[in-house]
Amino acid sequence: MHALKVTRAEDFPEWYQAVVRDADLAELSPTRGCMIIKPWGYGIWERIQGELDRRIKAAGCENYYFPMMIPLSFIAKEAEHVDGFAKEMAVVTHHRLKAVDGTLKPDPDAELTEPLILRPTSETIIGDAFSRWIKSYRDLPLMLNQWANIVRWEMRTRMFLRTAEFLWQEGHTAHADKAEAISETMRALEMYRAFSEDFLALPVVAGEKPENERFPGAVSTFSIEAMMQDGKALQAGTSHYLGTHFAEAQNIRYQDKDGGMTLAHTTSWGVSTRLIGGVIMTHGDDDGLRTPPALAPRQVVIVPMLRGKPEDDDLKAYCASLAAELGALNVFGAPLRALVDVKDARPADKRWDWVRRGAPLICEIGPRDAAGGQVTFIKRNALREGEKVKSHTLSRADFVAQADVLLRGMQKELFNEAKARLDGNIRDGFANFADLERYFGEDKEGEFKGWARVHWAKPTGAALEEVGQRLKALKLTIRNAPLQQPASFGACIFTGASAVEEILIARSY
RNA sequence: CGGGGUGUAGCUCAGCCUGGUAGAGCAUUAGCUUUGGGAGCUAAGGGUCGCGAGUUCGAAUCCCGCCGCCCCGACCA
């Protein structure tokens, strides 16, 4: 009997919804397409923020904050950018409500002279500021980041993966020349790769997006792609080299050493609460989430087996001192986060709540453990042996001494498990498009297909458009061209011509 | 935004075809029992049946309109 009502094999989308709800991560809000992020889910986001913010600052960026509302005219400044975002924009048009026939409506006399849009991203309003802040080569490079909420009016929403409002971090930088801007673009990409793999235990493939998948207005777009347990790809982070597109549109120029006016080269990069969806679909099992220890808001949860008897006090004291002892330890470069769950509920219910949330180590301590100086615990990443829950017992001293090793080991085990799935499910050997059609065309519902690694001649324009259409018929997209490329290439699977690049093709979220 | 499904207690759902103003299990609350592990018994609380208009003496049920959610598609960092 599993802790969730639906298993991954039965119905993956339903299972995903069940984890989000039963692990107490988030719920739907009365506002269409938006979610309420609950404490365990938000705690995970705070951990992401804390660690990534440290890495962003270590790279020399500073944080700042721009308004959530952007004048409508700003978004029109970069042509491709408009095309990319115009269709999913929330627009603020009035500044006052009025009761009309008993219902509150926007007051017709309070219409804004210029509507405001809720930011779908901030390139335009930040570019405007950059144009004022950057006067001289001495002002460069300018490297800034903001943590913010974003609004995109999506037609179809899914919790954490695509919601009308989401939380993210957007870095924006300006540089004197192309080489330096590209180097910053790659630095951010590598920062995301390392962060995902080390901290989220989420193995990814870093690479460059094809022309048709670029960010609107970018010269080149790079991504990290992760493989979910249903074989689909999830774009988990992006980094863009924007060239001088936004600099031209918004007049971001600096006076160089020779006194001439030169356009700056800009970049932007971001990750969002979508990462949490990626963690769920990578590490979740039929008992709920398995939160990687480095990421978990609580790494060790202690459930005292209280029985409403006098010895409960001794048991509570034992658990409290154990938690204090654990809290004095350092794991993953920070104090260990331990909690004694003293909520007045049945111990078994509390145990399963923490199993669903995915607390890495769940200690169940009864009077006998306390008397014997022991700790009985379960490891969430390897919860069961067969159908049965497997529990372990150590002396208290050994448990405290090994907590660090246990948590680090679990982090590694989760990563290795996901890494093996990623590496083991990227298929090679597609000689031509017909091979690809044969493999991806004949599928049963819910069948695991993984990704395809193929060679192509990297067509552009109309020819690329056609490639996109052919893939679309198989519900496939090009994910990226991995940074690590082979020494030589075979034939392009689309045209038969000599290939110039290796790319990953997959179904995606 | 197109196709399909769905909306009844906190959750999962029955009732709807064949109108007579609500049911089960789990959860919640209380009491008793139980206690090395998702407990048992007893009792109680909880629903303007998604919203609005209509037919009718009477609508969860029939008709019309709208909305939300889920899946597929289109779209999309």
Distance A294 CA to B40 C1' (A): 41
Quote the CA–CA distance of A155 and A366 in Å, as a whole number: 51
Q: Which CATH architecture has domain A426-506?
A: 2-Layer Sandwich (3.30)
3-state secondary structure string, A3-44? CCCCCCCCCHHHHHHHHHHHCCCEEECCCCCCEEECHHHHHH
What is the predicted pLDDT for the residue at A443? 61
Going by the DSSP 8-state scheme, the letter that residue A170 receives in this structure is E
Give me the CA A157–C1' B74 separation in Å, rounded: 14
A375: nt with nearest C1' to CA: B36
Angle (deg, nearest 10), helices A39-58 and A178-199: 140
| Diameter over CA atoms, chain A | 83
Query: CA A443, C1' B17: Å apart?
Result: 38
Amino acid whose CA is nearest the C1' of B67:
A32
Q: Which nucleotide is nearest to A235 (CA to C1')?
A: B77
Query: At how many degrees (to 10) do helices A39-58 and A274-283 cross?
Result: 110
- The model's pLDDT over A253-267, given as tens digits with 9 standing for 90+, comes to 999 999 999 999 999
Task: Catalogue the E-assigned strands of A119-219.
Answer: 142-151, 165-175, 204-208
The position carrying tokens 């020779």 is: A258
Q: Nearest nucleotide, C1' to the C-alpha of A309?
A: B35
Distance CA A72 to C1' B27 in A: 49
Handedness of CA A61, A62, A65, A66 (dihedral sign): negative
Q: Using the structure, give the distance in angstroms from the CA atom of A130 to the C1' atom of B72, rounded to a whole number.
A: 44
- The separation, in Å, between residue A355 CA and nucleotide B39 C1' comes to 20
Angstrom distance, A16 CA to B4 C1':
21
d(CA A280, C1' B11) / Å: 22
Q: Which nucleotide is nearest to A16 (CA to C1')?
A: B70
Give CA–CA dist A227/A202, Å, rounded.
9
CA of A287 to C1' of B38 (A): 12
**Helix/strand/coil for A483:** coil
Out of 3.30.930.10, 3.30.360.10, 3.40.50.2300, 3.40.50.150, which CATH number does the structure's domain A12-89+119-283 have? 3.30.930.10
A388 CA, B35 C1': Å apart: 20
Separation between the CA of A31 and the C1’ of B21 (whole angstroms) = 32
Rounded to whole angstroms, how far apart are CA atoms A310 and A256? 79
Give the nearest nucleotide to A240, CA to C1': B77
In chain A, domain spans: 12-89+119-283, 300-422, 426-506
- What is the SS3 assignment for A221? strand
| Nucleotide with the nearest C1' to A30 CA | B68
What is the spatial distance, in angstroms and rounded to an integer, between the CA atom of A232 and the C1' atom of B10? Answer: 34
Whether residue A115 has a cis bond before it, omega within 30° of 0:
no
| Residue stretches of chain A with pLDDT short of 50 | none
CB distance A175 to A186 below 8 Å: no
Q: How far apart are the first and last CA of chain A?
A: 30
Nearest protein residue by Cα to C1' of nucleotide B1: A155
Kindly report the CATH class assigned to A300-422.
alpha beta
Instruction: Using the CA of A274, give the nucleotide whose C1' is nearest.
Output: B77
Q: Which nucleotides of B are covered by protein (CB under 7 A)?
A: 1-2, 12, 28, 34-39, 67-77
Q: Which nt has its C1' nearest the CA of A351? A: B38
CA atoms within 13 A on the CB side of A271: 27
Give the nucleotide nearest to A308 (CA→C1'). B35
